[in-house]
């Protein structure tokens, strides 16, 4: 099913996260494939910590203040490292699957004050285009039947449950968010159904 299902693996020493094994796997339509970051032996855990993260080059490479993507990734890695075990799926679908050109266009509107839902509608792309089916299949193939998912997004939990994976969720919310991120949380709660407590 996967051109590269078993992928290539390398264990890299991270300055912050210690030793992390990265595996190249195709989990989306991303041209160069995606990455799975493995800490410890999550395939033997009863219910490993899991984060499904979509690449956000603005936050991760350029420290954009408009979103919390890099913070969420760091918080998830921190939780996983505290346990010494877990999986972070790094999906290379920046712009929630719509691509970088759409993301740049939508961002230009967001800087003018439009929210991330309406900006995408106004440029003719879906507010959220992602499918988590191949992530679920990856877990099943590695005999992971239950996970503790680090997310505020019920679509991610449901995307795994649909394929028979038992999911407990734990929220990931940046403490003391900036005004931009607080406004993003409101949009995500109101228009994307995210579970974010105030
Ligand atoms: Zn972002």
The CA 90 to ligand 1 mean position distance, Å, reads 13
Asked if pLDDT for residue 15 goes beyond 50, the answer is: yes
Asked if pLDDT for residue 181 goes beyond 60, the answer is: yes
Q: Which residue has the tokens 């929210």?
A: 115
Asked if pLDDT for residue 6 goes beyond 70, the answer is: no
Using alpha carbons only, what angle is made at residue 135 by residues 158 and 117, rounded to the nearest 5 degrees? 55
Q: Which two tokens stand for residue 49?
A: 């910590």
Average pLDDT over residues 15-37: 93
What domains does the chain contain, in order, with CATH numbers? 9-93+131-191 (3.40.50.10990), 98-129 (no CATH)
Q: Rg of the chain over CA atoms, in angstroms? A: 16
The CA 15 to ligand 1 mean position distance, Å, reads 23
Q: Which of 37-41, 55-59, 113-117 has the lowest mean pLDDT?
A: 113-117
pLDDT classification of 4: cutoffs 50, 70, 90 = very low
Residue that wins the pLDDT comparison between 196 and 145: 145
pLDDT of residue 140: 93
Looking at every residue in the chain, the average pLDDT score rounds to 89
Pick from 3, 24, 47, 5: nearest CA to 143? 47
Q: How many Cβ atoms from other residues are within 10 Å of residue 198's Cβ? A: 7
pLDDT of residue 27: 93
The CA 59 to ligand 1 mean position distance, Å, reads 5
The CA 189 to ligand 1 mean position distance, Å, reads 16
How crowded is the C-beta side of 171, counted as CA atoms within 13 Å?
11
Asked if pLDDT for residue 132 goes beyond 70, the answer is: yes
Catalytically annotated residues = 128, 130
Asked if pLDDT for residue 2 goes beyond 90, the answer is: no
pLDDT of residue 60: 95
Cβ(148)–Cβ(166) under 8 Å?
no
């Amino acid at each position: 099913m996967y051109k590269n299902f078993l992928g290539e693996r390398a264990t890299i020493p991270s300055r912050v996260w210690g030793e992390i094994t990265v595996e190249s796997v195709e989990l989306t339509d991303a041209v160069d494939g995606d990455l799975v970051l493995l800490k410890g032996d999550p395939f033997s855990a009863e219910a490993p910590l899991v984060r499904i993260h979509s690449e956000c080059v603005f936050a991760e490479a350029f420290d954009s203040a408009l979103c919390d993507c890099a913070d969420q990734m760091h918080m998830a890695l921190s939780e996983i490292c505290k346990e010494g075990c877990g999986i972070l799926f790094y999906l290379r679908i920046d712009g929630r699957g719509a691509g970088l050109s759409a993301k740049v266009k939508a961002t230009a509107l967001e800087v003018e004050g439009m929210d991330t839902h309406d900006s995408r509608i106004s440029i003719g792309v879906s507010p959220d285009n992602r499918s988590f089916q191949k992530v679920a299949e990856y877990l099943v193939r590695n005999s992971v039947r239950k996970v503790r998912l680090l997310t505020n997004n019920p679509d991610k939990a449901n995307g795994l449950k649909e394929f028979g994976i038992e999911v407990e969720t734990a929220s990931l919310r940046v403490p003391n968010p900036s005004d931009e991120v607080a406004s993003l949380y409101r949009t995500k709660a109101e228009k994307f159904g995210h579970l974010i407590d105030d």
